[in-house]
Structure 1
């Protein structure tokens, strides 16, 4: 799927007489595409297969995949890992979010989520969910989970029971491979796996309302494996309105600001 091609309005139907009772529909407005400027670059552990990322009180909380997978607290300024907790070898770590001192993280195919204390990463409890776990964020009252498909799932923050789903579409077409998630100003922002794009999703309708093109953010020669070492990781500092992004095994975490749209 060529993401930018899907940002253009859908192609018109073949010409032909329209029924008199069916006025022509206006062409859909093009989806805005944003660029970026780098504000600052920070060191990032190049061995961290980043799956989830948030910032809390100036400290990054990050989940990593592969074996061993981990959740960790990371000092923003120099990338030093302050604390780390490894998952049991049977779990491949996935997305992560934080709410009121609780860190929620996912596993890929085990259907098991974990809750940690945000201050010291001590385990608190576990929870179950159906299907795969990819990305995770919250809107203040619900966890929002991606599973690699074109669907976002909502879980109650207290009971952790699923309360609903929404299908994500771009120009009316399903958009899958939604990975790491972040809640920003009423929208769900999602990495699209193995691309240089972040999409901005209306959580009520599931429609993509904007695309962020981060092509060229990390020079290609710094990615050891172009299929694995891909853009993944969005952290929003709401208090200071700072946006951070990184990728799997990237040596750098970037603070960026958006430009455009174009």
Structure 2
């Protein structure tokens, strides 16, 4: 009889313990769900529910192979955008509980809406599916995508007739380009390789494997030291210009209320990175050191004019002509010159 009472009491304690553990995890899940849309900023402290803190001996957060017991949004561990983490809780009852969560981190300062005016329009060949776009002097260099139609072209602003054309093999889907000295670097979409060309002749000099971190190649620019690429996420990858297969560092991009996934065409100008977001009618101005989006151009009107026939004819071309910005897109019939106010 005594042994049965002890066994029954042990089962009771186990049931109570399991019930308390379930309450802790449910409370933590509710808190994380409520904070996912609101998000956090760097320096914020995670104010976990009392149900959790009162019954926990210790709490830590793990990020793959990294772990911290500090419940603060520290940039050493967290990045702008989505952070997939695991909460590890050791209860006062000796149990270890784990729960996966997504913690979204946004910038503290709202993006500035940047005013502009259209000061000129130039013709653009509407057959060109623009993936990379830049200008030097009055010469446009353009990378056009799609399999069996990809090409690298060079032409004079104001003309639609290319002076030089380098057709790509049928299986290649061309993506972003940038100029480094007398060379043009180019990414490909899913071919896992990049190309280097002579800027003057457009003849291929060499090719290189894309970094292992890349699932796809999207936009590309150059800051005078490193190539900067993106892959369709909210990450900017800084590459060694002498060895473009090597990632030097990664900077995540963040806005005040938005996670800017699918960053696409890139342009570096006067210390900032300018980027469009795929299928969105705006261009971001990004601090390349922090990844913070400090400004935003709204090009809804000109985007709507150029996507009436096909919604895939998206904004996807950024270049700087002096201090004015040139803007175009996939299969657009115009290049717009923008004076920034």
In which range does the TM-score fall when normalised by the shorter chain? 0.7 to 0.9
Q: 2:279 aligns to what SS in structure 1?
A: coil
Q: CA deviation at 1:173?
A: 5.1
1:46 and 2:126 matched:
yes
Give the aligned partner of residue 85 of structure 1: 166
Distance 2:297 2:286 in 1: 11
Indicate if the aligned counterparts of 2:303 and 2:314 stay in contact, CA closer than 8 A.
no
| Structural mapping, 1:47-62, within 5 Å | 47-62=127-142
1:254 and 2:327 matched:
no
Indicate if the aligned counterparts of 2:320 and 2:326 stay in contact, CA closer than 8 A.
yes
Distance 1:198 1:76 in 2: 21
Give the aligned partner of residue 206 of structure 1: 291
Distance 1:219 1:80 in 2: 26
The aligned length equals 235
Q: CA deviation at 1:241?
A: 2.3
TM-score where L is the length of structure 1: 0.84
Indicate if the aligned counterparts of 1:68 and 1:87 stay in contact, CA closer than 8 A.
yes
1:195 and 2:280 matched:
yes
- CA-to-partner distance for each residue in 1:40-97, whole Å, 9 max, x for gaps? 1000000000000111231000000013101000210222211111111111111011
1:125 and 2:209 matched:
no
* Structure number with higher helix proportion: 2
Larger Rg computed on CA atoms: 2
Q: CA deviation at 1:258?
A: 2.2
Alpha-carbon spacing, 1:88–1:192, altered in 2? closer, same or farther (3 Å): same
Q: CA deviation at 1:218?
A: 4.6
Segments of structure 1 that go 5 or more residues without pairing to the other structure are 1-5, 11-26
Indicate if the aligned counterparts of 1:154 and 1:163 stay in contact, CA closer than 8 A.
yes
Deviation >3 Å, runs of 4+: none
1:232 and 2:316 matched:
yes
Indicate if the aligned counterparts of 2:307 and 2:314 stay in contact, CA closer than 8 A.
no
